[in-house]
Amino acid sequence: MLRKIIYILFFILAVLLLYNSFYWWLSLLSFLFIGVLSWGSFDVRLSFFTPIISKSPYPKHRTIALTFDDGPTNFTPQVLDLLKKHNAKATFFCIGTQLEKHPEIAQRIFEEGHCLGNHSYSHPTKMGFLSVEEVSSEIEGCEQVFFRQFNFKPDYYRPPFGVTNPKIAKALKRFDYKVIGWNNRSLDTVLKSEQAIFERVYKKVKSGDIVLMHDTSLKSVLALELLLNQLSVDNYRFVTIDELLNK
């Protein structure tokens, strides 16, 4: 859809340049163009630069995938305890440096039947400004930690901050990952209370959702507890990304 908007903008620009030399039109369209590109970079649901899976293509009744980014951390065992209590499976998008710090927690994630994915080696804040080589080495770095520690190659990659751009898309072509986004974002790193996080996810939850959370704070753990309690009452099932994507 966005590609079409860009083509239309270019077409309008071309027509304006042919018939009209008012430069303010040019400025306006440039701003629109940059706006659309920025939107495409930050909204994972758009698959703007690379194909991104943001929800189940085959939603099953009351089945969702909970995903946790940026771990493992000291909060991950509490997340695992809650998941176990509710017989829930989830997917953890791990950072390479965190895997190196907490290999025993990652081992537990494996043993308890959850899915693990690549979330870059060091989660650089400047991810959107890295070269193709730098992005590739971030992806490969995390992959190598998984391989060294667990003899395991993840199938799924989640871009840090959900940011994609042409360089990240080019780097991803060198690998064989399914790129996983989300369609239900908890904002658990931003919202102030576990109740607010719970309400944000719960009010729009539906079958086939991929829910984005983080196993990085007590607030997220408490929000998860609220969600698991309520969604279990509502008869939801919690599955890994693997299972969510199966027909």
Q: Any idea which residues carry the catalytic annotation?
A: 69, 214
Least separation in angstroms between CB 48 and Zn ion:
19
Smallest distance from the beta carbon of 161 to Zn ion, in angstroms?
6
Nearer to Zn ion, 77 or 124 (CB): 124
Residues near 136 by beta carbon (within 8 Å), at least 6 away in sequence: 171, 174, 175
Give the span between the Cα atoms of 63 and 235, in whole angstroms. Answer: 9
Give the separation between CA 71 and CA 84, rounded to whole angstroms: 18
Q: How far is the CB of 138 from Zn ion (least distance, A)?
A: 12
Q: How many CB atoms lie within 10 A of CB 58?
A: 10
Sequence-separated (6 or more) residues with CB below 8 Å from residue 163: 41, 42, 127, 128
Indicate the residue type of 36: V
Which residue number, 76 or 237, has a Cβ lying nearer to Zn ion?
A: 76
Q: 12, 11, 3, 8: which is closest to 37 by C-alpha?
A: 3
Tell the smallest beta-carbon distance from residue 159 to Zn ion (Å).
8
Rounded to the nearest 10°, the torsion over CA 129, 132, 136, 139 is 30
* Longest Cα–Cα distance in the chain: 68
**Interacting residue ranges for Zn ion, rule: CB under 5 A:** 69-70, 160
Q: Which is nearer to Zn ion, 40 or 160 (CB)?
A: 160
Q: At 19, list the tokens.
A: 């018939």
We find the least distance from the C-beta atom of residue 187 to Zn ion, in angstroms, to be 13
Nearer to Zn ion, 216 or 240 (CB): 216
Residue 154 or residue 160: which is nearer to Zn ion going by CB? Answer: 160
Distance from C-alpha of 96 to C-alpha of 101, rounded to nearest angstrom: 9
